[in-house]
């Protein structure tokens, strides 16, 4: 998870999100198996309108695992941070929407808690909450963090499944690839690579090859 800054909610969404959310909540209440689908607004689906904005927020990376680029197999999709079934009124809430890879969309929604970290949380820094284990590519809560922050990190790893679905092996692979680069190439490489939060650290720790 790499920190990012959320831009202001687009006016058209600010104007309609409550009404659209209430509409979905009502349909879901009438039929528990009602399936969410994005509304059409002025000839275009809302998710298609929002994708470029959310993609700009995370520079095209998955908001949760930082995967990049999102191509075949990991097509970008918009995730509802607070799951749709439990928070139907928030399905169009700007703060609840994130660019997300297909793998991360399979997060454990049933276990959702407000404790999960968000990349656009103003105080979020990877190193405050997590450590990276070079031996196996996994993330762990930072043992030096406060008990509250350690618990938040633990829940984030577990619910967003940051240590499964091939992510640890992919982290190790990307770090090895990065280490093989010439020093001059490194800073231009990072924005186009997954796991930026690890590579920035890596560049600080071992500035030359
Ligand atoms: Zn992801």
Q: If we measure between CA atoms, which residue out of 128, 121, 136, 148 comes closest to residue 64?
A: 121
User: 95 or 206: which carries more pLDDT confidence?
Assistant: 95
Evaluate the CA torsion angle 116, 118, 123, 127 in order and state its sign: positive
* 93 occurs within a structural domain: yes
What token pair was written down for 10?
């687009």
- Axis-axis angle for helices 167-179, 196-205 (nearest 10): 40
Q: How far is the CA of 179 from the centre of ligand 1 (A)?
A: 23
**pLDDT for position 38:** 95
Q: What is the pLDDT of residues 142-185, one digit of tens each?
A: 999 999 999 999 999 999 999 998 999 999 999 999 999 988 89
Spatial separation of the C-alpha atoms in residues 125 and 139, rounded to whole Å: 14
pLDDT at 110: 86
Domain-located, residue 171: no
Q: pLDDT tens-digit profile of 15-68?
A: 999 999 999 999 999 999 999 999 999 999 999 999 999 999 999 999 999 999
Q: How far is the CA of 142 from the centre of ligand 1 (A)?
A: 21
Rounded Cα gap, residues 20 and 27, in angstroms: 11
26 CA distance to ligand 1 middle (Å): 31
Residue whose pair of structure tokens reads 């809302």 in the numeric block: 46
Q: How far is the CA of 15 from the centre of ligand 1 (A)?
A: 30
Q: Judge whether 2 lies within some domain.
A: no
Task: Give the model's pLDDT for residue 209.
Answer: 46
d(CA 145, CA 98): 26
Which is more confident, 187 or 2? Answer: 2
CA 191 from centre of chain:
16
CA distance 53 to 56: 5
CA 60, 63, 66, 71 dihedral sign is negative
Q: How far apart are CA 198 and CA 179, in angstroms?
A: 12
Is the C-alpha dihedral spanning 161, 108, 81, 158 positive or negative?
A: negative
Encoded tokens for 47: 């998710």
pLDDT, the chain, mean: 93
Other CB atoms within a 10 A radius of the CB of residue 143 amount to 7
Ligand 1 centroid distance, CA of 36 (Å): 21
167 domain residue, yes or no: no
Instruction: Note whether residue 194 is domain-resident.
Output: no
Residues lying with their CB under 5 A of ligand 1, a single-atom ion? 62, 64-65, 67, 101, 104
Is residue 87 one of the residues assigned to a domain?
A: yes
Which residues neighbour 112 within 8 Å (Cβ) at sequence distance 6 or greater?
A: 82, 83, 86, 159
Residues 118-138 have pLDDT tens digits of 999 999 999 999 999 999 999
Whether 165 is in a domain gets the answer: no
- For the whole model, what pTM was predicted? 0.93
Q: Give the single-character DSSP code of 158.
A: H
The pLDDT, as a whole number, for residue 73 is 54
* pLDDT of the residue at 105: 87
Q: Mean pLDDT across the stretch 93-107?
A: 92
Residue 190 Cα to ligand 1 middle (Å):
17
User: Would 23 be classed as within a structural domain?
Assistant: yes
- Spacing, Cα 103 to ligand 1 middle (Å): 6
Q: Report CA(102)–ligand 1 centroid distance (Å).
A: 7
22 is in which domain, residue-wise? 11-159
pLDDT of 207 strictly over 90: no
What total number of domains does the chain contain? 1
CA–centroid distance, residue 29 to ligand 1 (Å): 30
């Amino acid at each position: 998870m790499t920190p990012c800054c959320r831009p202001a909610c687009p006016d058209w969404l600010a104007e309609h999100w409550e009404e659209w959310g209430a509409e979905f909540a009502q349909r879901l209440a009438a039929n528990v198996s009602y399936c969410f689908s994005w509304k059409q607004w002025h000839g275009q689906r809302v998710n298609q309108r929002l994708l470029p904005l959310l993609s700009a927020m995370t520079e095209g990376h998955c908001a949760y695992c930082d995967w990049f680029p999102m191509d075949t197999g990991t097509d970008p999709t918009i995730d509802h941070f607070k799951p749709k079934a439990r928070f139907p009124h928030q399905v169009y809430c700007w703060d609840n929407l994130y660019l997300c890879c297909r793998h991360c969309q399979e997060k454990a929604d049933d276990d959702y808690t407000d404790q999960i970290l968000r990349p656009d949380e103003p105080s979020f820094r990877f190193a405050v909450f997590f450590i990276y284990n070079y031996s196996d590519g996994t993330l762990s809560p930072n043992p030096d963090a406060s008990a509250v922050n350690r618990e938040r990190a633990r829940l984030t790893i577990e619910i967003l499944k940051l240590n499964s679905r091939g992510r640890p092996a992919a982290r190790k692979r990307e770090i090895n690839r990065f280490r093989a680069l010439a020093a001059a190439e490194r800073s231009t490489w990072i924005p186009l690579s997954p796991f930026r939060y690890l590579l920035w650290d890596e560049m600080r720790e071992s500035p030359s090859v």
